[in-house]
Amino acid sequence: MGAELASAYGAARALFDEVDAALGQKLSEVMFNGPLEVLTLTENAQPALMAVSLAVMRVLEQEKGFRLPDKVKYVAGHSLGEYSALAAAGALKVSDAARLLRLRGQAMQAAVPVGQGAMAALLGVGKEAGEKLAAEAAQGEVCQLANDNEPTQAVISGAKSAVERAAQLAKAHGVRRFIPLNVSAPFHCALMQPAADIMAQALAQVTVKAPCVPLVANVLAAPIDDPQKIVQALILQVTGTVRWRESISFLANAGVTAFYEVGSGKVLTGLIKRIAETAAAASIGKPEDVARFKAARA
């Protein structure tokens, strides 16, 4: 993860070194060489994903002459990706973002004892059906819509027993496939309130600046650039729904015709194509992607 970027570009290597120094750990060595079970620990996975995203941005900026405020109208990020987006837009220092995500991962993991929470993807239905299913399955326990990803994909999160009840009720709500997710905690639901409290305290100790372009926040599906509103959105995001479908719809309606997923993977690119069907969407995560992006803009 990120090894090809570090090998090809000095700017990427420097970014990984910066994250390592901020965390007091050679996270990059785990990213490049594993073991996978260590990398996928939430406290490592969150800063690692951010590091790859920002490494790509550093390469585009320092070695390819791309300036985000000149070329980009908005930034957005899915869940932890909001920290990457804010760092890319200059609202957060890279070192602060890395430490916040390390803490966020630890706090989320500690908020609910292992085995007491669960998440599941609902295929074939969207927000409305997901909310109704979660409400019926709750029966006094926590069960919420965690992600509104695209018109035919939602994610629910909550107490394990409630999510298991949702599995039995799913077909009656039009769910085509009910997929339990292999996650370490029930993210983006009220069970994460202890983690939200910890993040509120941590964010109060960090300087957040106005980003060079607005952030379309997960919990609002609307743009913000005021530092205080950004902090509040990051706190609310821990327990709130990731309104990705609405966020992309907002951007498309605001005139955005090209979307770039910067970092590891192509999942968001696929979601975007199913939301803003007439817009262009591409991912930039490896050296060949950087070269393709540069050639397209030459």
Catalytic residues: 79, 188
Q: With DSSP H G I counted as helix, E B as strand and the rest as coil, what are the percentages for the chain, rounded to 5? A: 55, 15, 30
Taking the C-alpha atoms of residue 71 and residue 94, their distance in angstroms, rounded to an integer, is 21
* Cβ-contact 194, 185 below 8 angstroms: no
Taking the C-alpha atoms of residue 223 and residue 242, their distance in angstroms, rounded to an integer, is 14
Taking the C-alpha atoms of residue 125 and residue 62, their distance in angstroms, rounded to an integer, is 42
Rg of the chain's alpha carbons, rounded to an integer?
19
Taking the C-alpha atoms of residue 256 and residue 280, their distance in angstroms, rounded to an integer, is 9
Q: Hunting for tokens 């901020």 — which residue is that?
A: 22
- What phi and psi, each to the nearest 5 degrees, are found at residue 176? -75, -45
* Cβ-contact 143, 162 below 8 angstroms: yes
Taking the C-alpha atoms of residue 129 and residue 199, their distance in angstroms, rounded to an integer, is 31
- What phi and psi, each to the nearest 5 degrees, are found at residue 246? -65, -35
Taking the C-alpha atoms of residue 265 and residue 285, their distance in angstroms, rounded to an integer, is 7
Q: What is the dihedral of CA 89, 90, 92, 97, to 10 degrees?
A: 60
CA 187 to chain centre: 12
